[in-house]
Structure 1
């Protein structure tokens, strides 16, 4: 069985980040100290070397001009200095040479070659003929010794617990509003799963984006639930009548006494099933047409080719009634479209034109250079006062003999909006029939010629 990993701790993450910041500051300070020590040690060594050289000269001026005595006092002074610095834990390297009357009387490192990088100071007593030369090497590597490590690490080690404890308290207190928001959401879920009211605005600037994102999510969920409830209500409303017809005709078929009654009941049963099937298809098309367009971006489509394809789909219905469909299209006409919703739009507009036109009539489909589609039929048309209402769900023009769900133009309007188009209704040429105009973008539709 796969072990579920333990959840990560934001508090621990913040504390680790705080420790890393402290470590970074300490390393930067250490680098500065190392650089400064190298500079200061050179200057300090030069000053110390000058002082000790003068001290050796002062001591030698009180002695008789004896090379052995001069060597002895120089060595004792240097040994005293070395003992003092060893006690402090500071290693040091120095070399003393003493001349008397131009002759080398003492060399603390006889036979060792002289090298560069050492601090040099020379004191001379011309009256007695004494010259003292002292060299000392700057101890710039002190920071890498154990004593230096103890000195530099002690502040970090001792201060870290005292700094992390306040940081821990500050972070915990700072995260309280976030925990309070989580508790409010949890309590709301326990009260009701449908409680999708927005959270109150946060007084904290850092939490405001989180609250806004949660509220946007709740708004989308609320809209989705509203659409689902609306869809269920629409489905119940639209399927109630055809299902009742199916049920009644099923009972009539069972109780039929002769073949004629059975045939009549069977016809009614098929009509009820067809109407229910059509209603389901229209409801699903309406639901797809009103979905948000964030699921997939539009793709470049040839509108003229899509028109030819949808006319070919509608051709069998037109042939049954002897209706001629004429297409005038500029090709190609490339536009960014959602293919599925655009196909639903064209199917509904062309299908309505065929359905409401009389047998043997003509349907004109025109795509002009301004990328405006005009579908004109020879049907009864729609009175101007009702042209806005036919886009409402389930609204049908009074006196219509054709069966329908009242969703076709509602589907077309939503599909047009999803594809960046506008749909409008007008009278056909000569005031007969209906002209449906679909304009994309800022394009306008010219009035078709008769």
Structure 2
């Protein structure tokens, strides 16, 4: 696992070292050049001093000091070529009349020579090139010592600064690690660096979604337990009636009522599962191109028998194909619940109208019936789970429109309840263009 602190520290340290190396190389070359110029000036000053202040003619320095002889060699000779003075007989310099600076090669190596005419004599001051370069390199390296110390201090400073800069992230991680499933309050986003604020904001948004999801789950479980209590109690009573039946007719009637109760309980469980699967915040369905017209025709075909038993006529107005990007199962569930509710609440001999259309980048599904409709006062709560309107006589779980609303939210669509021209309920579901990019009629 990579460490941000280690990565940043290594990167910054590498950059600092690279900068120090470049700066050191430039400083080294500059110091070498400066020392070369300084040594040349030293040779020139010695020659000028001998010319301007005069000199005695001691015997050749056969026993000259070794340190002095290794630094500078002075040689004075006449115009005729006779040597009148040599500071170090062990290091003779070629007696060539060279005015100014020149590099010469002898048996003892390379020399840097400065020649100066002085009347009838030539003053020549020389210095070994290797010695000059060694001295210049030593001086240049000494100038780099502060830079090396700076690089070490910079490494420590970078490590400390990176650690200090990452403290808010570490505090945020520690705060989150102390949370449990019940601690879904927002994390502290104050005094955080600008780079970490988006992370804290996203984390708070996720915690808020989790809090709402857990709250809905608790409410759903409580409502489901409450709704299941009644059908289960009814089944228990019907089973007791079946056991107490004294003749075949009573037993047959009790069995029929028990079967009806079991059907209602099974339908309620199916609706509960459907409501849980279509929760828009929990759904992670992969949308795909779905033929909504074909899905509606299949639903109508499946419910045709129920409608025929009540003498209800179902009419469909739809194009042959109507493509919609969405969850096929959820869209089929939406159509089934809307059409099933229309058939269930429409009196015998009534009518149900289903229309599908597309216009201006929208897909619209409309279901109308000739039933009693939903009073305007009850419409705001019609999509609540387990809600049944005032004066409702039809049996049901109260989950049909709640499931429809979940599917609508999942597809970022809009739903509207109104009054049908046939006197009953009119439900309009409109899918926006971005949720239906590939529809075609």
Corresponding position of 1:198: 186
* Partner SS state of residue 98, structure 1: coil
Corresponding position of 1:86: none
Query: Residue 221 of structure 1 is aligned with which of 210, 214, 228?
Result: 210
- Aligned 1:43-442 pairs, distance under 5 A: 43-56=34-47, 59=50, 62=55, 79-81=69-71, 96-99=93-96, 109-110=106-107, 122-125=114-117, 127-130=119-122, 132=124, 134=126, 136=129, 139=133, 151=145, 155=149, 159=153, 163=156, 167=160, 171=163, 175=167, 178=170, 182=174, 186=178, 189=180, 194-200=182-188, 202-205=190-193, 211-292=200-281, 295-296=284-285, 298-321=287-310, 323-359=312-348, 361-370=350-359, 371-429=363-421, 431-441=422-432
Deviation of 1:436 after TM superposition, in Å, equals 1.8
Corresponding position of 1:87: none
Aligned residues: 406
Alignment CA distance shift 1:205-1:294 (3 Å): farther
Corresponding position of 1:5: none
Q: Does 1:37 align with 2:28?
A: yes
Distance 1:76 1:108 in 2: 21
* Partner SS state of residue 139, structure 1: helix
**Retained in 1: the 8 A contact 2:314–2:354?**
yes
TM-score by length of 2: 0.73
Alignment CA distance shift 1:266-1:233 (3 Å): same
TM-score by length of 1: 0.72
Deviation of 1:98 after TM superposition, in Å, equals 2.9
Distance 1:252 1:240 in 2: 18
**Retained in 1: the 8 A contact 2:5–2:166?**
no
Distance 2:66 2:41 in 1: 18
**Retained in 1: the 8 A contact 2:311–2:349?**
yes
1:386-419, Cα deviation, whole Å (9 max, x unpaired):
4444333333344444321122122212322222
**Retained in 2: the 8 A contact 1:41–1:140?**
no
Unaligned regions of 5+ residues in structure 2, if any? Answer: 74-90, 435-441
**Retained in 1: the 8 A contact 2:345–2:372?**
yes
Distance 1:251 1:354 in 2: 33
Alignment CA distance shift 1:158-1:412 (3 Å): closer
CA RMSD of aligned residues (A): 4.7
